[in-house]
Chains A and B, each alone.
Chain A
Amino acid sequence: MSTATAIVKPVMPERHYLNDNYGIRSWLLTKDHKRIAILYLFSISFFFLLGGIFAALIRLHLLTPNGELFQADTYNKLFTMHGVNMVFFFLIPSVPAVLGNFLMPIMVGAKDLAFPKVNLLSWYIYMVGATFSLIAMVSGGVDTGWTFYAPLSSGYLRTHVIAMAVGILFAGFSSIFTGLNFIVTVHRMRAPGMTWGRLPLFVWANYAASLIMILGTPVLAITLILLALERGFHIGIFDPKLGGDPVLFQHMFWFYSHPAVYIMILPGMGVVSEIVTCFSRKRVFGYSFIAFSSIAIAVFGFVVWAHHMFVAGISVYSALVFSLLSYAVAIPSAVKVFNWTATMYKGSVKMDTPMLYAVAFIGLFTIGGLTGLFLAALGLDVHVHDTYFVIAHFHYVMVGGMVTAYMGGLHFWWPKLTGRMYPEAPAKLAAIVTFIGFNLTFFPQFILGYLGMPRRYWAYPPEFQVLNVLSTAGASILSVGFILPLLYFLYSLKYGEVAGDNPWQATGLEWETSSPPPTHNFHQIPVVTKEPYAYGEDAEVPVVH
C-alpha cells in the first residue's frame, strides 16, 4: 500500500473462509464465526437502512411546525420504530456481532469462539426477534416510544406492543448469547502467550460490553415479559389503576437500558483504540488505563440508571446519589479521550479513512460526553430532560460515537473481511460528508432543547422552525454520507485492489493471517511474545506466515 515495502503485488489466498464451500446451506448452517459475522452484517445493515428511512421521514416531517406531512399517530409510530430498530436491532449488535464476531477469536488467537453453535443460534434468535418486530411494523406499527413507559404502553395504546416486546426479547437473548461466547472465549481460548496484559484494547472493550450484555439484558427480558403480561391479561404490575406502580417500570427499564448505552459505545471505543495506534504507528498511550476504564465504565454503568428519572418523582436523596455516581462514569470516559489524543503525540500520523472516522469519533464523543454532564447536573437536568437537548446528546454519543466508530472499523477491517481494499478517495469524501452532515443535523438540537422544545412532538411552536430546518438540511447531507459507503463497498467486492495480509502494516494477530482468513483462522496457532501495539519494535512489516 503505502511505502516501499509493497514491491510484490499481493494476491488473494487460494482458499479462505469465503470460498471454502458454497451454497446457501453452507451459509445458513455455518458455525464459522466469520461467516456468522457476515450474516449479521447483512441483517443489521437492513435495519440500519430501515431505521435511517424512518429518521429521514421524521426530519422531513419536522420541516414545518404544524405537522403537515403525517398524522400524529403515524409520526409517533415513526419515531418509535426508528428508536427500536436503531437501538435493539442495529446499535447493540453493530460492533460486537459483526466486527466482534469476526475479530475476537482471531485477536486472541483462537480457531473459533468457544461455542460456535450458540453463536449461530444467536443469529437465528436475532432473526426471530427481527421477524416479530417486522410483523409488528408491517401490521400497523407501534407508537409507545422505544422506552415503552407504562401505563401508556400497557393499558392505553392500541398498537402491536406485545409483538414488538417479544421481538426485543428475542434480540436481547441473541445479545446475551453473543456476550456469553465472548466472555468464555476471552477467559479460556487465548493463544499461548496471550496474557490479559497483551489483549488488544478492542478485546477489552468488547469484554466489558459483554459483561453488561449478560448481566443487564435478563432484567430487560423480565421487564418486557411483565409488561406483555400486564397488557395481555390486564393484571396490575405497573398500572396504578390495578394497583401497580408505573415508576417501578422505569427503574427496571433503565436498569438495563442505561448500561445498554455502554454496550453501544464501549465496542466503538475499542475500535478507535485499534485505529488510532495503527495510523499513528505508535504504542497506545496508557494501555492499562484504557483497558481498565472500559471495565470501570461497565461496572459504574450499573449504578446510575435513575439519572433518567430526576423529574419522575424519585426522592431528592436518591437523585443526589445517582447524580454523583453518574459523574463517576464520566471520569473513565475522559481518561480514554485524553489517552487517544496523547497516542497521536509524536506519532507518524496518516489520515486515511479509518483514521478520519477515529478522530471524528474522538471529537464527537467528547461533545457527546461533555453534554452528558449537563444532564447529570440535577438542577439543569430538570430543564433539559425530555427535550431535544437529550436527543442531541445521545445522538452525539450513539451516531457521532458508535456509528462513526463502526464505519471506521468497517473500513479498517474491510480488507480483512473481503480481501480487497475500498477506494480511498470516495471513502475520505464520505467520512467528511458524514461529519459535516452529522454536526449540522444534531448541533441545532442542543439549542432547540435548551429553548425548551420537548422530544416526540408532532407539531411545535413556530419559533423553533429555523433550527428544525437546519437540522433537516443536515440530515439530508448525512444520508449522502451513509449511502456512499454502501455503493463503494459493493464496488470494491469485485473491483477493489487486492489488499494483502496486512495493508495497514498493523500489529495484532488478525493481521498475521491471510486476508480473508482461512476457515480455521490460522494455518498454525500463533504464539504471542510481544506486547500489543508493538509498533516501534521491528520497525516495518511484522508479517508471519
Chain B
Amino acid sequence: MSTSQTTTTEHHPALAHQFDSMEQQQDASTFGMWVFLLTEIMMFGGLFTAYLIYRLKYYPAFVAGSTSISVGWGFANTLVLIGSSFTMAMAVWAAQKGYRKSQVWLLLATMVLGAAFLGVKAKEYYDKWDECHIPGHVIGKGFNTWGGCSVTNKSLGNIAEEIRDPKHHGNPNIPEGAAEQTARQTEIFFSFYFAMTGLHAFHMVIGLGLLTWLLLRARGGEFGPSYYTPVELGGLYWHFVDIVWIFLFPLLYLISRHQHGV
C-alpha cells in the first residue's frame, strides 16, 4: 500500500511488519479473535448437544443430580463472574483512555474475582468428592469408587434418599427401587457436570494466564489510545468464558428445582 504509507504518521513500535497501519492491525486482530471464539462456540456446542441428549434420556436422574449440587454456590459464582466481566470491561475502557493505574487495578480486580470463582469451584468439587459423587473409576468397579468410596456407602444412598426426601424437594411416593436406579444413572449427569465445568474452569485458568501477561504489560504502560488491542482481545475472551458460564449455570444447577421427575 504505497500510498497509505505516506499518510500513516509514524511507525508505531507495536505495529507488526505484516500490517500497513495500526487500524489494519487492530481490525485484523479483533476479527481473528471473533473467529477463534466461533471455534470455541462449536467446541462447547458439541458438548452442550451431548448433554442435552442425555438430559432428555435420563431426565429424572439429571434432576436428582442437579438437586445434589449447591445452587447457592453456583449463584454466588455467577455473580462473581458477572462482576469480573464488569471490571474487565472497565479495564478495556481504562486502557483505551490510557489511565495506567486504573488499568492495573481493574485487571487485578478481574484476576481476583476469577481466582475467587475457581476457589468456589474447587470447594464445590471437594464437596462432590466428599459425598462420593465423582463419576467413573480407575481401579475397582462401579460408580463412586474413588478415594475410599464404594458402591455400598453413602454415595448412591444419599442421592437415592434425597430423591424421596421432601426436605430435599424429593417425592416420598417414589419407591425405593426406582430411587436407587435413578441414583445410579446420576453418574452420567456427574460426568457431564465435571466435563463441562472442568472445560470451563480450564478456560478460566488460561484466562488468568492472559490477564497476568496483560497486567505486566499494562504496568509497563504499553497501552493507550493508539494501542490497546491486547486488552480488548483479552476482554473479548474473558466475556466469552463468562457467557459460557451463564449457560452452564441454569443447565446444570437449575434443572426442575421445584420437583423430582419420574
Contact = CB atoms under 8 A, between A and B. Distances in A.
Given A235-B188, A243-B188, A252-B50, 10 more contacts: A188-B27, A188-B31, A215-B39, A217-B39, A218-B42, A221-B43, A226-B50, A232-B138, A233-B137, A525-B1
B2 interface: yes
Contacts of A112: 17-18
Given A218-B40, A219-B42, A191 B1 contact: yes
6 contacts: A111-B18, A188-B31, A215-B42, A218-B39, A223-B46, A245-B54
Interface in B89-137: 135-137
B166 interface: no
Interface in B14-63: 16-20, 24, 27-29, 31-32, 35-36, 38-40, 42-47, 49-50, 53-54, 57-58
A402 interface: no
B243 interface: no
Contacts of A118: 32
A152 interface: no
Contacts of A233: 135-138
Contact of B136 (A110, A115, A223, A234): A234
Interface in A412-455: none
A524 B39 CA distance: 35
A114 B18 contact: yes
B18 A183 contact: no
A187 B30 CA distance: 12
B8 interface: no
Given A111-B18, A180-B35, A236 B191 contact: yes
A221 B40 CA distance: 11
A63 B188 CA distance: 47
Contacts of B137: 233-234
A216 B38 CA distance: 11
The A contact surface, by secondary structure, is: helix
B76 interface: no
Contacts of B27: 188
Nearest to A183: B35
Contacts of B67: none
B163 to A, nearest CB: 17
B195 interface: yes
Interface of A: 105, 110-116, 118, 176, 180-181, 183-184, 187-189, 191-192, 214-219, 221-223, 225-226, 229, 232-237, 242-245, 248, 252, 255, 520, 524-525, 527
Given A222-B47, A236-B191, A214 B32 contact: no
B185 interface: yes
The 6 closest A-B pairs by CB, nearest first: A233-B136, A218-B43, A112-B18, A235-B136, A218-B42, A188-B28
Contacts of B38: 214-215
Nearest to B138: A233
Contact of A214 (B1, B20, B35, B45): B35
Given A222-B46, A237-B50, A248-B53, A189 B185 contact: no
B188 A176 contact: no
Contact of A236 (B1, B36, B53, B188): B188
A524 B2 contact: yes
A111 B195 contact: no
B162 interface: no
A439 to B, nearest CB: 38
A110 B29 CA distance: 15
B242 interface: no
Contacts of A115: 29, 32
A237 B28 contact: no
Contacts of A245: 53-54, 57
A176 B39 contact: yes
B90 to A, nearest CB: 27
B187 interface: yes
A184 B32 contact: yes
Given A219-B43, A226-B195, A525-B2, A116 B188 contact: no
Contact of A229 (B16, B29, B46, B191): B191
A161 to B, nearest CB: 16
Q: Which of A184, A221, A232, A244 has the most CB of B within 10 A?
A: A184
A235 B185 CA distance: 11
Interface in B143-171: none
A229 B187 CA distance: 13
Contacts of B35: 180, 183-184, 214
A258 B68 CA distance: 39
A433 B49 CA distance: 48
Contacts of B3: 192
Contacts of A187: 28, 31
A193 to B, nearest CB: 10
Contact of A184 (B31, B53, B54, B187): B31
Contact of A219 (B46, B185, B199): B46
Contacts of A184: 28, 31-32, 35
A243 B185 contact: yes
Q: Which of A118, A234, A248 has the most CB of B within 10 A?
A: A234
Contacts of B24: 188-189
Contacts of A527: 2
Contacts of B32: 114-115, 118, 180-181, 184
B28 A114 contact: yes
Contacts of A248: 50, 53
Contact of B46 (A116, A180, A252, A520): A252
